Structure 1
């Protein structure tokens, strides 16, 4: 058992510390401001009862003024700012997201706006500001159309996507990345899919049962970008089940779709009308292309091969 003298000494020390803390608190500018602006009267008794809460309140940053950035946050929990709630005669601290965390969360959310499958990083990171405006190409004209389409989608208007076709290496995929990042800045998510590889993924999904999940993810994308359509092996399943299935769903639902290809629409229709398995099936190819024409405006991109 603690000796009575030691107990009295400790009690006196605690009282002295509490009195000192109380005096510090009632003189603290933040507490003075709190008392003056509170809709509920804050009494001396209330301050004494909840001194630890108020001390924590005075030590933390209220508007990132002590931190500067989320990386230097001094608050606990990190990224949240305290405010005082007075109820039931007690003083409580409540927390809300700080300005820096809001910015950080918004940035991370924008970064998640672009989902990609088998697309190079330079395409995913492309922006209209980084496009080389080759005077020997019609890039500027295509960019104007792309920006116009992006703005219409951002405004919630019914807008067609673009079917950008042209020869190898002239920057068709890069423009899809530019459109995706333009939409990202407006908090509109998009998915860029490299068609030949995603077809292989869908086939592989038959083994582990993931084909339907992948297919539904692609067809339901807020904005879908099909990169290098026509470069995949054409089979009846690819044409009728995969591509026509995705395009039909997006046409019915009015979901914006962009496509890049080495083939014009007419050439793509011819390519998809012929398979090794079934020979010539022009009607089925025509059905697929009707959906592309409904979803996209055809634009031919001219220029030199920048890969060489």
Structure 2
């Protein structure tokens, strides 16, 4: 019996030594030891289980089947080796794919949009084709995002106006994405559809709740303002209410429009059955004094697709 126990013990020792030699000759461990030449061999021996799991995880990462099918002990985490006071330990950290997933989830949480095409809400400043006519506007839009990130309450909004298809909405969409770099939430909405939704809110009693969303978001982007049908209710109960709140709370608003500011004022004045220049002027005070207006020029990109 003693001979058998001795034999098995010796065999286990041989197996461990073979496994240790195999491990020490693995390229990943050779690379680690090259960066840590002061680590004695005994520490590698004591940390053999950590080393083996590290190799297994790293080899799995090289054949990565995607996050959903990640074979590592902790899905989405890659193994690294760390020198500690007690020896060599395997630690884990999020892999690049998991971090990318987190960034996308965070972006979706920070960006909300209603009735905005995907190609607009996913636009970035890098994806907008260079154009001398709108280069300065893009620079101003980037500066706006930086300013919001530094002090949102001291930042004026933007009023981007120009012909159809010159890229106003794309710039606005790129603003949404740029703001996520500063952890600033934004809401971009197509104004004519917004009005239709709020009309539905009157019928189901949710209009005030919906208005609060537009009032209180950090950065509100009103896309295509001036193309909605203007009524006294739209002017006095919607725009006046939302913009008054945002002005009082010093929250910046971005607008895109086919109308310049003078034309927009006439649009507000010319409400169906209630022409009122004074009320229009009051609304424009909540817009004109709190934005930097820019004329976006260039050819119609839709015609060039």
Q: Residue 297 of structure 1: which of 268, 292, 296 is its match?
A: 292
Q: Residue 116 of structure 1: which of 101, 109, 113 is its match?
A: 113
Q: Residue 126 of structure 2: which of 108, 121, 129 is its match?
A: 129
Q: Per the alignment, in what secondary structure is the counterpart of residue 241 of structure 2? A: helix
Residue 192 of structure 1, CA deviation = 1.2
Aligned length: 289
Residue 144 of structure 1, CA deviation = 2.1
Q: Residue 170 of structure 1: which of 166, 169, 174 is its match?
A: 166
Compared with structure 1, are the counterparts of its residues 144 and 205 closer, same or farther at alpha carbon in structure 2 (3 Å cutoff)? same
Q: Distance in 2 between matches of 1:240 and 1:258?
A: 20
- Structure 2 residue runs of 5 or longer lacking an equivalent are 1-8, 34-38, 40-45, 81-89
The worse-fitting range, judged by mean Cα deviation, of 163-172 and 72-81 is 72-81
Match of 1:75 in 2: 72
User: Residue by residue, what CA displacement relative to the aligned partner does 1:85-144 show, whole Å, maximum 9, x if unpaired?
Assistant: xxxxxxxx9987556423421233224433211112222222223334445xx3122222
Q: Residue 268 of structure 1: which of 254, 257, 264 is its match?
A: 264
Compared with structure 1, are the counterparts of its residues 303 and 55 closer, same or farther at alpha carbon in structure 2 (3 Å cutoff)? closer
Scaled by the length of structure 1, what TM-score is found?
A: 0.71
| Runs of 4+ residues deviating >4 angstroms | 18-30, 52-61, 67-70, 80-83, 93-100
- Structure 1 residue runs of 5 or longer lacking an equivalent are 1-14, 38-46, 84-92
Compared with structure 1, are the counterparts of its residues 287 and 53 closer, same or farther at alpha carbon in structure 2 (3 Å cutoff)? same
Residue 54 of structure 1, CA deviation = 11
Match of 2:200 in 1: 204
The worse-fitting range, judged by mean Cα deviation, of 107-116 and 219-228 is 107-116
1:153 counterpart = 2:161: no
Q: Per the alignment, in what secondary structure is the counterpart of residue 233 of structure 2? A: helix
Residue 57 of structure 1, CA deviation = 8.4
Q: Per the alignment, in what secondary structure is the counterpart of residue 238 of structure 2? A: helix
Match of 2:279 in 1: 284
Compared with structure 1, are the counterparts of its residues 95 and 289 closer, same or farther at alpha carbon in structure 2 (3 Å cutoff)? same
Contact kept? 2:61, 2:78, Cα under 8 Å = no
Residue 218 of structure 1, CA deviation = 2.0
Any residues of structure 2 matched to 1:23-172 within 5 Å, and which? 60=57, 66=61, 71=66, 73-80=70-77, 97=94, 100-135=97-132, 138-156=133-151, 158-172=154-168
User: Residue by residue, what CA displacement relative to the aligned partner does 1:243-279 show, whole Å, maximum 9, x if unpaired?
Assistant: 12111221122222110111211221121123224x2
Q: Distance in 2 between matches of 1:24 and 1:214?
A: 69
